[in-house]
Amino acid sequence: MAPLLRPRSETGRGSWGAARPFSGCSDGVARRFVSQPFFLKKQREKWRGYWAPRVALYLRAVFQNDALLRAEVARRGVKGGLMKTGLLGYGKMGRAVEAQLLARGHEVVWRVGRSGRAGLTAEQLRQADVVVEFSRPEAAYENVLACLEAGVAVVSGTTGWAEQLPLVEAYCRAHGGAMLWASNFSLGVNLFFALNRYLARLMGAWLEYRPSVEETHHVHKLDAPSGTARTLAEELLAAAGRLERWALACGQPLPPEVLPVVSIRRGEVPGTHVVRWDAEADTLEIRHTAHNRSGFALGAVLAAEWLLGRQGVFRMSDVLNLEGP
């Protein structure tokens, strides 16, 4: 699909200047355009409230050269919006995801809270191109499976159901579905995962250093340790190659072949994760601290955008093009 507009350098009339995301520029174009005298008040309001976000997304897809976004825009058209999304789970994370979706010009076609999934039919599920699922551990398996059975791509961020996750992944592969699960959607945390794997490979041969993982979260978090801490521990074990397993440390000393994982629940902490390598002489430590939920929500929306049109089972490392475990 050829761009509607071309950079001035292609027409011999100068240059756009430094590269930048086009969505902000398109907002400025829209404001200047609707300020012209021939635009009536109602027309201005319709442009700002409906058309401007959709045109901005179209231009972003073109100028960022994202082939998948461009294909979806071509299929759906600017008028229909870029992505129809369903929200399974409408707590704090569900609302944060909704805010990011709307800010990026997407449409939320339905929202289902804790007790509403039982009445959601396959036909209603199919109203969405992608479902974003942030619910509870005991509900996640049925939620994700229902989406896959309806043929709808699903992005899941619920943790605490690791034993059932391989079952829905096998179903997804067998039936040509699309799903992406992540213990943490934050872009910073996924870079932290990659750093953790690299550091573990370096430290594996230095036996005087003993690793540990520590996570701190708000008192409302249901699972312990967090899904992010589990991912850090499992990837550390695989990369270091000299420990047998991890275990939740409850104040008792653990054998040297066991990786201790410490869980702390305090106040309203969004999430802090620390990986330490302790020796008698010194300590090496890497840390990620979340300041709010916006980073998690943005990552989930980016994952949903990326998943459009794909088939298979994916992780955030696929979205970000990072080396996997």
Other beta carbons within 10 angstroms of residue 72's beta carbon come to 17
Query: Which member of 217, 218, 273, 291 is catalytic?
Result: 217
Query: Which member of 41, 42, 221, 291 is catalytic?
Result: 221
Listed in sequence order, the residues at least 6 apart from 239 whose beta carbon sits closer than 8 Å to its beta carbon are: 196, 197, 198, 200, 201, 204, 325
Listed in sequence order, the residues at least 6 apart from 107 whose beta carbon sits closer than 8 Å to its beta carbon are: 81, 83, 84, 85, 101
Could you give the 3-state DSSP secondary structure of residue 199?
Answer: helix
- Residue 41 annotated as catalytic: no
What tokens were used for 256? 């040297």
Q: How far apart are CA 156 and CA 162, in angstroms?
A: 12
Supply φ then ψ for residue 172, to 5 degrees: -60, -45
What DSSP assignment string belongs to 274-298?
EEEEE-SS-EEEEEEE--SSHHHHH
Q: How far apart are CA 227 and CA 56, in angstroms?
A: 36
Q: How far apart are CA 150 and CA 187, in angstroms?
A: 29
Q: How far apart are CA 254 and CA 260, in angstroms?
A: 7
Q: How far apart are CA 192 and CA 198, in angstroms?
A: 10
- Residue 84 annotated as catalytic: no
Active site residues: 217, 221
